[in-house]
Amino acid sequence: YDGERNPEGERHGRGKARLPNGDTYDGEYEHGFRSGRGTYRFRNGACYIGEYLQNKKHGQGIFFYPDGSKYKGDWVNDQRHGYGEYTYANGDTYTGEWFNHNRHGQGTYVYKDTGSKYVGGWVNGNQEGEAELIHLNHRFKGKFWNGNPVGHGKYVFDIGCEQHGEYIQSEQDKGEGEEEEEPLFVVAPKWKASQITKLTLWTPHGENPPSPSEASLVSSEVFSPAKDEGEEGEGSRAEEENKDQEDQGEE
């Protein structure tokens, strides 16, 4: 350690430290703890630039991860917590609320490859709640659970019409003696269309479902005008798994 100390001999003020594991810290100390602003460089290539409180990331800060991703925003007790933006290694971005290291609350996830974006609720890192999935020339408005659309919703097309319907979870056939076993895979919900209408104008009192006289009925067979809408969220599921290495070996 090279830096200031208080009369008690504690690290206090400005200083630089090299830890036994090869990590380095250059910043402010209070009574022996990293507190205030500083830069912590990890041996694995990660780097944190921001505020500390008693050796923990706390306040505003930017974390650069070894895989090229980064987080810029609020920290509480060493965790992403509050509001922040995460840029993932594949170029996707999430901007919104965080709770205990997870995407939680309201946020927007933008898929770099397609330009699509999810705007709405999140629970413990998963897409959940009221949301809008916006594509190049159409969008889906409805509810999501565990990353998939569920229940009633509608597709809004730029050509000037809406398709109302609902997402239905198809049942899986189980053979004899398999009642207690977990399914081998999750079947994505299927879109079941009900009717097509003109665009519904937004009102302060919310949306009223179209009356049968205004709607032209369409086939109730399964119809997927936006088959790709459920295929874009898969890349966002594993990005958190390797992000928490940075705390190993901290002083």
| Tens-place pLDDT, residues 46-55 | 999 999 999 9
pLDDT grade for 89, boundaries at 50, 70 and 90: very high
Residue 111 — pLDDT band, cuts 50, 70, 90? very high
- In-domain check, residue 215: no
- CA-based torsion, 128, 132, 134, 140: positive or negative: positive
Q: What is the pLDDT of residue 186?
A: 60
Tens of pLDDT, residue by residue over 185-225, are 567 889 998 889 888 765 555 445 444 444 333 333 333 33
The domain tally of the chain equals 2
- pTM for the whole thing? 0.74
What one-character-per-residue DSSP string does 147-203 give?
TEEEEEEEEEETTTEEEEEEEEPPPPP--TT-TTSPPSSPPPPEEEEEEEEEPPPP-
Q: Is residue 245 part of a domain?
A: no
Residues 193 and 120 occupy one common structural domain: yes
Q: Which of 79, 98, 116 is the last residue of a domain?
A: 79
pLDDT grade for 78, boundaries at 50, 70 and 90: very high
Dist. CA 104–CA 98, nearest whole Å: 5
> What mean pLDDT value characterizes the chain?
81
Residue 153, domain member (yes or no): yes
Q: What is the spatial distance between Cα 129 and Cα 150, in angstroms, rounded to a whole number? A: 9
Last residue of a domain, one of 36, 54, 79: 79
| Same domain membership, residue 35 and residue 98 | no
Residue 138 lies in a domain: yes
Shared domain check, 103 and 27: no
Task: Quote the CA–CA distance of 60 and 75 in Å, as a whole number.
Answer: 6
Q: What is the CATH number of the domain that holds 57?
A: 2.20.110.10
Q: Of 79, 103, 133, which closes a domain? A: 79
Residue with more model confidence, 14 or 194: 14
pLDDT at 39 over 50: yes
Q: Domain for residue 248, yes or no? A: no
Q: Is residue 251 part of a domain?
A: no
| Percent of the chain predicted with pLDDT > 70 | 73
Task: Name the residue among 210, 227, 206, 230 with its Cα closest to residue 218.
Answer: 210
**Greater confidence, 26 or 215?**
26
Which domain does 54 fall in, by range?
Answer: 1-79
How far apart CA 40 and CA 248 sit, in angstroms, is 13
Judge if 106 and 66 occupy the same domain: no
Asked whether residue 136 is domain-assigned, the answer is: yes
Q: Which two tokens stand for residue 179?
A: 């009642």
| More confident of the two residues 182 and 70 | 70
Tell me what pLDDT residue 73 has: 98
